Structure 1
């Protein structure tokens, strides 16, 4: 119940941002993300396609592709899993599950363990980099298989940061967090 209340509250905070504030935040986060040393060397990155008031990833995706990085986006499947499909200049998008844009074709795709970084959406995040997702469990299920996983980079507005979130035994903190105010790593 506490998670549902937090989700409602944090989504409301996100929606209260003006379109201008959202654009500036996305621009700041893109610049900070591109400066991350580990991401500068990445060749394959998974990035969510934003939906609603989520922090927009359009500029980040364009900048990564301009650098020659292969960008893959999630395609939710009925069984609660996701495929990672290449996003190219020829990829056609359509509104899929939950109204989220996704590639019309499920090819070419890549296994999760071939991605080096994964830019993940979130509703909230705490000081220990614990992530509160939308509640569908899609991203949580990605961590079911502990073999090589990409580094997880949370993307958020500063308003989505809280002191502490309720955590479940399967929750694993993000590897890094980028907000429009400042980056965060588990070590501070």
Structure 2
């Protein structure tokens, strides 16, 4: 199946799952595993997106980072498909990107490329090669090619596959670790 078709199928699958009663329990499980992860604990700077509807909510992770004294950085994307990570606090002015993601308005100062650890978003992940299917624009693949750093992804049961069912291309970047729900063959 091509990436475009698989991406559409995956979005529908996640949308349906997020309406179910099981989603919040899985999300809480992923938070707990992340907060106990050694790479996460040791990192002083965390790169993370501001979640949109039907994504694992990232604000609880951001708040936990702030409570632990970590610096949080969120991506600012540009029309040439590059991005930078900008320091994020509760005072950071935000605007909506063309993709509907909240991003910092000011990005000329207080950037960090790369943060020590990036929590990489995605639609699907596979145990085979720690492959990731993103949202289709290639921002993270380009960024990680230019700024290699430690990466973790959080995968709900509906996002995690043992074998990779979508095509992998040479520019696709895998993630270092995929945290998925207990009993999903990855923990």
* Structure-1 separation of matches of 2:45 and 2:99: 26
* Cross-structure match for 1:5: 5
* Cross-structure match for 1:158: 157
* Structure-2 separation of matches of 1:22 and 1:58: 16
In the alignment, is the contact (CA less than 8 A) between 1:123 and 1:134 conserved in 2? yes
Q: CA deviation at 1:105?
A: 1.8
What TM-score does the superposition give when structure 1 sets the normalisation length? 0.88
* Structure-2 separation of matches of 1:75 and 1:2: 28
Secondary structure at 2:158 match in 1: helix
* Cross-structure match for 1:78: 79
Structure 1 residues 91, 24: CA separation in 2 closer, same or farther (over 3 Å shift)? farther
Instruction: Could you tell me which runs of 5 or more consecutive residues in structure 1 were left unpaired when the two chains were aligned.
Output: none
Structure 1 residues 34, 136: CA separation in 2 closer, same or farther (over 3 Å shift)? same
Secondary structure at 2:6 match in 1: helix
In the alignment, is the contact (CA less than 8 A) between 2:86 and 2:112 conserved in 1? no
What TM-score does the superposition give when structure 2 sets the normalisation length? 0.88
* Cross-structure match for 2:56: 55
**Residues 1:133 and 2:134 are matched in the alignment:** yes
Size of the aligned set, in residue pairs, is 183
* Cross-structure match for 2:124: 124
Over the aligned positions, Cα root-mean-square deviation in angstroms equals 2.1
Q: CA deviation at 1:182?
A: 5.9
Q: CA deviation at 1:32?
A: 0.9
**Residues 1:142 and 2:182 are matched in the alignment:** no
* Cross-structure match for 1:25: 26
Secondary structure at 2:14 match in 1: helix
In the alignment, is the contact (CA less than 8 A) between 1:23 and 1:56 conserved in 2? no
Instruction: Could you tell me which runs of 5 or more consecutive residues in structure 2 were left unpaired when the two chains were aligned.
Output: none
Structure 1 residues 14, 72: CA separation in 2 closer, same or farther (over 3 Å shift)? same
Secondary structure at 2:69 match in 1: coil
* Structure-2 separation of matches of 1:103 and 1:126: 31
1:30-81 alpha-carbon deviations (Å, 9 max, x no partner) = 2111100121111011011111211111101100110000000011111111
Q: CA deviation at 1:171?
A: 2.2
